[in-house]
């Protein structure tokens, strides 16, 4: 979903939903990534894709119908979308809605059976853009050949 960015940012920056407690370990773990509460990429990117998962639907009789594997389906679809964005010569990053998901969902008029899972700012990379040099696990630690 793209649009309503200025209203979204008002919720994101000025609302109490942004204020939350974090564990000391979480803050320590993120220090090498140099992440801060300020998310300038949300205002600079020309497009902001909001990825919602539909936790449940409704049967014809109005009763809830559980959507099994919605987490995996959204994760796979988001991975494919990110790959397509990359191959189109654009850039993005994954960002979570923190504690603002329900406020953003309400702002956009989305139904209560949807949950905001991911924010994807999309655009061309800035001239001075950098990518953290993260150490990855060796392939032999994550791949088992049988």
Dump pLDDT digits (tens) for 92-112. Answer: 999 887 778 889 999 999 999
Q: What is the pLDDT of residue 12?
A: 44
* pLDDT given at position 13: 43
pLDDT given for residue 16 in this prediction: 46
pLDDT of 29-86, one tens digit each?
Answer: 777 777 666 777 778 899 999 999 999 999 999 999 999 999 999 999 999 999 999 9
- Whether 132 has a pLDDT exceeding 90, the answer reads no
Domain that holds residue 30: 5-142
The residue ranking higher by pLDDT, 28 or 70, is 70
What integer pLDDT is reported at residue 53 of this predicted model?
Answer: 95
Domain of residue 29, CATH code: 3.40.109.10
Q: What is the tally of structural domains in the chain?
A: 1
Name, in order, each residue with C-beta under 8 angstroms of 24's C-beta and a sequence gap of 6 or more.
none
Terminal-to-terminal C-alpha distance of the chain: 42
pTM over 0.85: no
């Amino acid at each position: 979903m793209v649009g309503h960015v200025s209203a979204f940012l008002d919720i994101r920056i000025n609302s109490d939903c942004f204020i939350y407690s974090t564990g000391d370990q979480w803050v320590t773990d993120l220090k090498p990534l140099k992440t801060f509460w300020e998310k300038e990429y949300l205002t600079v990117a020309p497009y902001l894709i909001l990825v919602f998962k539909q936790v449940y639907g409704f049967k014809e009789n109005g009763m809830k119908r559980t959507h099994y594997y919605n987490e995996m389906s959204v994760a796979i679809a988001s991975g494919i979308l990110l790959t397509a964005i990359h191959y189109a010569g654009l850039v993005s990053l994954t960002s979570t809605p923190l504690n603002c998901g329900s406020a953003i969902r309400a702002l956009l008029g989305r139904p209560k059976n949807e949950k905001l899972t991911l924010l994807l700012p999309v655009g061309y990379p800035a001239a001075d853009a950098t990518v953290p040099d993260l150490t990855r696990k060796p392939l032999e630690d994550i791949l088992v050949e049988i």
